Amino acid sequence: MRNVRAGILAATLAAAYGCGADEVAKPMGGVAGGVSVSLPTSTLPTPTTGFAGNASTPPVTSNTTPPPISVPNQPPPVSTMPPPAGMKPPVVPTDTTKPPPAGMNPAMPTMPAMPAPAGATDPIIPPMPSDCPAFKNGTISYMSLSGISVVAGTKAASPTAPMVFYWHGTGSFAGEYATMAGAVQQGVVQEGGVLISFQGTTGGDLLSGTAIFGKGDFVLADGLLSCAVANHNIDPRRVFATGCSAGGLFSGAMAAARSNYMAAAAPNSGGWTTPVGWQNMNTPALMTIHGAPGTDVVIIDFSSSSKTADTAFKGRGGFVINCNHGGGHCGGGGLAGDIWKFFKAHPFGTKPSPWASMLPAGFNSKCMIF
């Protein structure tokens, strides 16, 4: 009776897939009754990929309609081909109930989140908007916000370039980076990267202390980053933030609020004044820079706010450096060269830090591992 059932099954499948019954039913060791079913590989259903990249195949029932007959020896469609070895599939947001951010065209599909190069830990790059700016030196308007400064190096030949978001202080201007982070700017340009500095905000809040920036600005940063990854060969693992005073507070907040892709941050007279929600389990590397207690004070003591951020990042297993230059407010401009070294040594997911036991020779002596 078992052989009869196997023969009927083989004949049924042979009719569905257009092959001989002797090609379908073949004895195979380790299968109950010594009978197994072998289908042509070109007609096998392709596994689907779940949210976290775990492959799962929909169950097949007795009422399942056989798939269309495919031409033997043909490769599967491109859309069903698995990612290259070592590459993780992109994590695509599944919540489609929220309206797109300003500047996103709901009629046009956005690109799925783009994976970074293969590595132990990959950042998640936001979906690409329908419109992207040109990355060249100048000032642009993006998603209805004007006054965004762009500094761009010559596009790299491959996706190796860094991207830095600079956030200025209260009463200052977008070009502040030239004096506060000159060495960072130079490093970015030399490697074909992009530096972005906002003049205004989409709506300020306490993440910047004085509300000159707010969490809505991160949505614009998301779009600029995804465009730069797609169009300017930015390495998704080399995304950083720095800034002074209110901008220092905001760069520290960005490291947590955008932990999906932030590799490291270096707040200058910044840190945290209010708890910040983390986007995921990644903890970017942190380098806080401040003056002496009681000296680096503008409404708040920035040595204290720096320590608050240090403690939060360290508590999650992050690598943290604390630099007390002993001077006044935003007096850390002289450490810009050290900030750039720190960024270069800490791409996304660098654990443990190459500096875990000791800071490199020549690093500023005012800095110590927290």
Residue 361 lies in a domain: yes
Residue 117 belongs to a domain:
no
Residue 161 covered by a domain? yes
In a domain, 82, yes or no: no
Is this model's pTM higher than 0.95 or not? no
130 found inside a domain: no
Question: Do 19 and 151 lie in a common domain?
Answer: no
Q: Give residue 336's pLDDT.
A: 97
Count of other CB atoms within 10 angstroms of residue 282: 23
Rounded-to-integer distance, Cα 353 and Cα 54, Å? 29
User: Based on the domain organization, do 30 and 152 belong to the same domain?
Assistant: no
| Residues in the chain with pLDDT values less than 50 | 1-84, 87-120
User: Across all residues in the chain, what is the average pLDDT?
Assistant: 78
Query: Residue 333: its pLDDT value, please?
Result: 87
185 close to 211: Cβ distance less than 8 angstroms:
no
- pLDDT, residue 92, reads 35
269 and 155 share one domain = yes
pLDDT of res. 246 = 98
Q: Taking the CA atoms of 72, 74, 78 and 80 in sequence, report the sign of the dihedral they define.
A: positive
* Count of CA atoms in the C-beta half-sphere (13 A) of 355: 23
Q: How many domains does the chain have?
A: 2
Instruction: Say if 120 falls within a structural domain.
Output: no
CATH number at residue 149: 3.40.50.1820
153 with 295, same domain?
Answer: yes
Question: Does 142 lie in the same domain as 34?
Answer: no
237 is a domain residue? yes
Distance CA 120, CA 85 (A): 13
Say whether both 21 and 142 belong to one domain. Answer: no
Q: Which residues contact 178 (CB under 8 A, 6 or more apart)?
A: 185
Which structural domain range is residue 180 located in?
138-369
Asked whether residue 207 is domain-assigned, the answer is yes
| pLDDT tens per residue across span 307-364 | 999 999 999 999 999 999 999 999 988 999 999 999 999 999 999 999 999 999 999 9
152, 28: one domain: no
Q: What is the pLDDT of residues 233-270, one digit of tens each?
A: 999 999 999 999 999 999 999 999 999 999 999 999 99
Q: What is the pLDDT of residue 273?
A: 95
Q: How many residues does the chain have?
A: 370
